[in-house]
Structure 1
Amino acid sequence: MSAYDHLYIDGSWQPSHSTQTLTVLDPTTEQPLAQIPDGTAQDADDAVRAARTAFHAWSRTPVAERVGHLRAIAAELGRRAGDLARLITRDVGTPLAFSRAVQVTLPVNSFLQAARTAMAYDFEQRRGPSLIVREPYGVVAAITPWNYPVHQVAAKVAYALAAGNTVVLKPSEIAPLSVWELTDIIDSVGLPPGVFNLVSGTGPTVGEALAAHPGVDVVSFTGSTTAGRRVAALAADSVKKVTLELGGKSPAVMLTDADPTLVVPAVMAAAFLNNGQTCSALTRLIVPRARLRETEELARDAAPAWAPADPAGEHTRLGPLVSAAQRDRVRRHIGDALASGAKLVTGGAAAPREPGRGYFVRPTVLSHVTGEMSLHHDEVFGPVLAIEAYDSEDEAVHIANDTAYGLAAAVWSADEDRALTVARRLQAGQVQINGAQFDPNAPFGGYKQSGNGREGGQEGLEEFLETKAIQA
């Protein structure tokens, strides 16, 4: 069992003020994998003070110099990609092929794209008699989740640093080990002390200390909607800026002219992505009632391709959930849906026969789901797909929008113009048509209770820039 026993504050690895540690478990074996410091509010305060001290010089560092550091981080991430992918697979349970293809490549892209965006951005513009200046806020507290542990860090840290802010990062304590590797990379490229800081610990201790800290200017949070509300409430006392990327219950609308043989496998893949632990996963398939039985049969036939297995296997598509608590929560959702009248197409709440240990859940498809069921509304965050039927296009749009969330959506149709018309009606921050490839450089964020603000691209950079109008 490894021990990650130091925090990264003011340009060096330092011990926590606490002697307590948090144990990180391997979701495949259920055995201890590592220990990390159970940080304190004093650790958070030390990191904020270091970041505030560093801000004056960093904010005045030429953009080209800041960008050079980001490119160096991206290059080193690329060199360590193989080791990082294996570590994320052990830490999160992500299938190794997906770790290589997505978990590592996305953060490399974020650092490079943040560099490109900052270099092309016009930080000063003349508008009539005013000079409009965009300048960094100050100290950014980045609070990140466990499901995409490096990507979610990069989406915040790269753009915050590119804009000229300094950062205090609090990663999830559930699967944090790859963040230590990223921090080692950041340390190796020679950022000035205090520009980037890492403090581990729990949300109620370190996370809340950062959200409420008067020395923090921006809180960028990704996680559950419940936790996001708490972060916003704590930040309100000092009226600091808060951006939130929260939960989702994303629909995929199959229009009457779409081909179910194309739609069903693609939507199942999107629902079971990263073992179902993706906030933007397409977890509701909305289909014409006349195609319901055909859809169910296609889903049942496709399910064996998602057999739970050791995530380190080269051909594994579905690994374990990240923790026992997450596994049990997903199984309860399945049981509650069945008790409410949903039809089990495949899977179920019972433990899979293989691999025998680990936090595994059967890939599950439930049909006859209605708007009265909690499965229609609640984020499950596991390999569970709900099928809902409609009788008219207007009803399909209503079903799609009938949740508190609005992070992502999809539309399938043989007529792209028809699909685009429906896409415009969906209340979601990102809509894919006919399985279009995910664009990591498009602005990402949600409508309604899926959050506020955007990550990625020019919009992601501007979230970390304050606006000043100078008139002379």
Structure 2
Amino acid sequence: MDIKEFYIDGEWVSPDGTDVIDLINPANEEITGSIISASKKDVDDAVKSAKKSFEVASALTLEQKKKVLQEIIDGMDTRRQDFAKVISEEMGAPLKMAAGAQYGSGIIHFKNTLSVIDDFKFCEVHDNITINKLPIGPVGMITPWNWPLNQMCTKIASAIAAGTSFVLKPSEITPGAAHILAQVIDETSLPKGILNLIHGYGQTVGREMSSHPDLEMISFTGSTRAGIDIQKKASENIKRVSLELGGKSPNIIMDDVDLEAAVNMGMKQCFFNTGQSCSSPTRMLVPENLLEEATKYAVQASEAMVTGDPSEEETFLGPISNKTQYEKVQDLIQEGIDEGAKLACGGVGKPNGIKNGFYVKPTVFTNVKNSMKIAQDEIFGPVICLIPYKNIEEAINIANDTSYGLSSMVSCGDPKKGQQIAKQIRAGQVIVNRISRGDYPAPFGGFKMSGNGREHGTFGIDEYLEVQAVIT
């Protein structure tokens, strides 16, 4: 997709910037389109529009917000295949998965926000105190390449519900979904100027947004490294920063479960989206007496996953989304081998029979020490570490022995025991005895270096509001 325009103040406009960024199809390494990277003037124009429209956004009634959310849902439904095609081309997701989970993870946020907004308390009265929750002001949104629709849609849905205007900058690797979404929103009753869309490099455009004095908040999803930089830039004018960052999530498998089923579930969730999810359960913690058996099941699951052309129906693992990330994954696999972790399957290089594209062999390391780099660093590819533990106390210690704290999983025979273990895990979410969080509008965000905000549902709306006390 060639994208030659930005969406500012309700109009499709030609950028002032001149730097051209090629879009690369990671499945064949061919150029599939291009975008223009925004200049400082483009950022200023987008922010000016958001600032001008904030008063209109903050005056939206509940019924107007609900109408817009439903219009976006209806509009996205008509463009489902367009979203799937561009996501698959730009980031390599299997086309079937792009039309399913990638698309579904985006539209569900508008549906969930619509389902909770009626009961959201924008005003509460306690005796002589009135608590008002007011829109924070113009927001800058910076979103990643691994789930292009998911992160955009959760931010936009919450901002509309809160009643604030915003400037969106998607990843320069996967801009197509944002372009289509802006086309959808342009056809709704959302007043012009509330949504503004620009493109460009994070290290230039993202930094301009982060330090811009007329943006009251930055909502960022991406790497921890970039999140630290954004927080530093935003501190220049004390704006609120909501960060959803990296992870190295543990998956504690206890000895009272169907081991094969638990390992298969963990493998599928870890390698879903070719392992490119911040919440992937990349550290599988297994009782030491079951490690050999668990490794066998993990290898079988890995070898059953079809790696290849994203357009093929049977493909489960597409390519890594870009060359830089591909090289990082290869380096970390080699580092795991050098550190002495046992390579059960996979390894460096491309899968047999594949010459072009950023494909990685699905890789299982076993008998990994939690101190190893592959157990501490976010790899962001189809690589898993099986780590043995002696007892549940040690498992919890290993689970928490990380700088991250985004997600985790527990497989156990007793759900009550799972609840008890969950409270001891320092992570923003714990998924017990299921493969994923599903469609629930549960809050999503991390502890420690995984971030400081919460998204989805009522918690997502709260992120875009300021609390005011009126005392009479």
Query: What TM-score, normalized by structure 2, do the two folds share?
Result: 0.98
State the distance in 2 between where 1:436 and 1:361 align. Answer: 23
Alignment pair present for 1:338 and 2:342:
no
State the distance in 1 between where 2:73 and 2:158 align. Answer: 13
* AA in 1 matched with 2:451: G
Alignment check: 8 A CA contact 2:143 2:152 kept? yes
State the distance in 1 between where 2:324 and 2:435 align. Answer: 34
Matched residue, 1:164: 163
Matched residue, 1:175: 174
Equivalent position SS for 2:252: strand
State the distance in 1 between where 2:283 and 2:370 align. Answer: 11
Residue deviations 1:79-116 (CA, integer Å, cap 9, x gap): 21122112211111111222122111122111122223
Matched residue, 1:109: 108
* AA in 1 matched with 2:170: P
Superposed displacement of residue 70, structure 1: 1.5
* AA in 2 matched with 1:124: C
For structure 2, the residue ranges without an aligned partner over 5 or more in a row are none
Matched residue, 2:51: 52
Matched residue, 2:270: 271
Superposed displacement of residue 129, structure 1: 1.0
* AA in 2 matched with 1:381: F
State the distance in 2 between where 1:125 and 1:399 align. Answer: 43
Matched residue, 1:350: 349
Residue deviations 1:326-351 (CA, integer Å, cap 9, x gap): 11110110000110010001100122
State the distance in 2 between where 1:228 and 1:174 align. Answer: 18
1:57-72 correspondence runs (5 A): 57-72=56-71
State the distance in 1 between where 2:300 and 2:65 align. Answer: 51
* AA in 2 matched with 1:245: E
Matched residue, 2:447: 447
Matched residue, 2:470: 470
State the distance in 2 between where 1:319 and 1:354 align. Answer: 14
Corresponding residue pairs, total:
471
State the distance in 2 between where 1:118 and 1:465 align. Answer: 14
For structure 1, the residue ranges without an aligned partner over 5 or more in a row are none
Alignment check: 8 A CA contact 1:161 1:167 kept? no
Residue deviations 1:112-154 (CA, integer Å, cap 9, x gap): 2222322221211101211100010110100000011011100
Alignment check: 8 A CA contact 2:159 2:461 kept? yes
State the distance in 1 between where 2:286 and 2:202 align. Answer: 39
State the distance in 1 between where 2:242 and 2:357 align. Answer: 34
1:142-157 correspondence runs (5 A): 142-157=141-156
Matched residue, 1:228: 227
Matched residue, 2:82: 83
Provide the identity percentage: 37
State the distance in 2 between where 1:303 and 1:467 align. Answer: 49
Equivalent position SS for 2:371: coil
State the distance in 1 between where 2:271 and 2:64 align. Answer: 41
* AA in 2 matched with 1:403: T
Superposed displacement of residue 436, structure 1: 4.9
Superposed displacement of residue 322, structure 1: 0.5
| Displaced runs of 4 or more, over 4 A | none
* AA in 2 matched with 1:420: Q
Alignment check: 8 A CA contact 1:407 1:447 kept? yes
Residue deviations 1:138-182 (CA, integer Å, cap 9, x gap): 101000000110111001011011100001001000111111111
Alignment pair present for 1:396 and 2:395:
yes
Equivalent position SS for 1:411: strand
Q: 1:150 to 1:286 in 2, by over 3 A?
A: same
The RMSD of aligned alpha carbons is 1.1
* AA in 2 matched with 1:431: V
Alignment pair present for 1:119 and 2:126:
no
Alignment check: 8 A CA contact 2:265 2:435 kept? no
Matched residue, 1:369: 368
Alignment check: 8 A CA contact 1:321 1:360 kept? yes
* AA in 1 matched with 2:372: M
State the distance in 2 between where 1:138 and 1:63 align. Answer: 18
Superposed displacement of residue 399, structure 1: 0.5
Residue deviations 1:15-51 (CA, integer Å, cap 9, x gap): 1111221111001110001111111121111100001
* AA in 2 matched with 1:180: H
State the distance in 2 between where 1:397 and 1:263 align. Answer: 18
Matched residue, 1:320: 319
Alignment pair present for 1:381 and 2:380:
yes
Alignment pair present for 1:459 and 2:463:
no
Matched residue, 1:422: 421
* AA in 2 matched with 1:255: M
* AA in 1 matched with 2:57: W
State the distance in 1 between where 2:238 and 2:2 align. Answer: 38
State the distance in 1 between where 2:323 and 2:202 align. Answer: 19
Moved more, 117-126 or 329-338: 117-126
